[in-house]
Amino acid sequence: MKRLLASFGAATILATVLAAAPLRVSADAGAQFQRPDDGGPEETAADPCLPSKPGPVIGDSSSRDFFRRGFRRRPIPVLGRKGVLAFARTELFFGTEKPEGPPVSDDDFRGFLDSQITPRFPDGLTVVKGDGQFKDSEGDIIKEASFILILLYPIESAKDSNRSIERIRRCYLHQFDQESVLRVDDPFASWVSF
């Protein structure tokens, strides 16, 4: 059975919460998602985990130039303006079921986190465990555990961060024999203070 989207139920909830945010997902579960300015020989040569050739671009023109247009800014309450920084927010949903063999374990994911994600986002990230479900191409409801990665990064570094995020997605697809890694981007800046 083909898996369409890992943790689709959680993505539906997120899409409701972020109603203004377009949910950009692969229309074809077997296709990899690639954004503009992503890819190139320096990326695959540096990481043996990645496939040698990036996948096709999926999505409409508005999603492809998401990072070129810039982020919309929500108003900040007057009392909350001191020391506030504009950050981008991206969430990745990693499914754990594999076509053959046991699912991705907590230890497997922790190893992936340590070797592939943390080096690209050393300033911080959040991982949440989830239970999701989706309808496969045959109409069956598939349930599986997932890991949800939440990234907040300065808007000024969005282009470079986008490249890193896409490398992480492709590496997970390759390393754990997955069909997709769901990506959700909020087009509004998140106001962050420390």
Domains in the chain: boundaries: 8-56+83-192
Q: Per-residue pLDDT for 5 more than 80? A: no
What's this model's pTM, rounded to 2 decimal places? Answer: 0.66
What is the distance between the alpha carbons of residues 15 and 105, in angstroms, rounded to a whole number? 27
pLDDT higher at 69 or 3? 69
For residues 6-17, give the mean pLDDT: 36
Question: Is 8-56+83-192 in CATH node 3.40.50.10320?
Answer: no
Q: Per-residue pLDDT for 149 more than 80? A: yes
Going by pLDDT thresholds of 50, 70 and 90, the confidence category of residue 71 is low
SS3 33: coil
For residues 28-50, give the mean pLDDT: 44
**Model pLDDT, residue 74:** 63
pLDDT higher at 175 or 16? 175
Comparing C-alpha atoms, which of 122, 33, 102 is closest to residue 113? Answer: 122
What is the phi-psi region of residue 189: left when phi exceeds 0, alpha when psi lies from -120 to 50, beta otherwise? beta
Structure tokens that stand for 179 in this block: 């069909």
Share of the chain above pLDDT 70, in %: 58
Question: Can you give the length of the chain in residues?
Answer: 194
For residues 35-50, give the mean pLDDT: 47
Query: How high is the mean pLDDT of the chain?
Result: 73
**Model pLDDT, residue 32:** 39
**Model pLDDT, residue 29:** 34
Going by pLDDT thresholds of 50, 70 and 90, the confidence category of residue 110 is very high
pLDDT higher at 173 or 2? 173
**Model pLDDT, residue 175:** 97
Could you tell me if 181 and 173 are in contact, meaning their C-beta atoms sit under 8 angstroms apart? yes
**Model pLDDT, residue 191:** 84
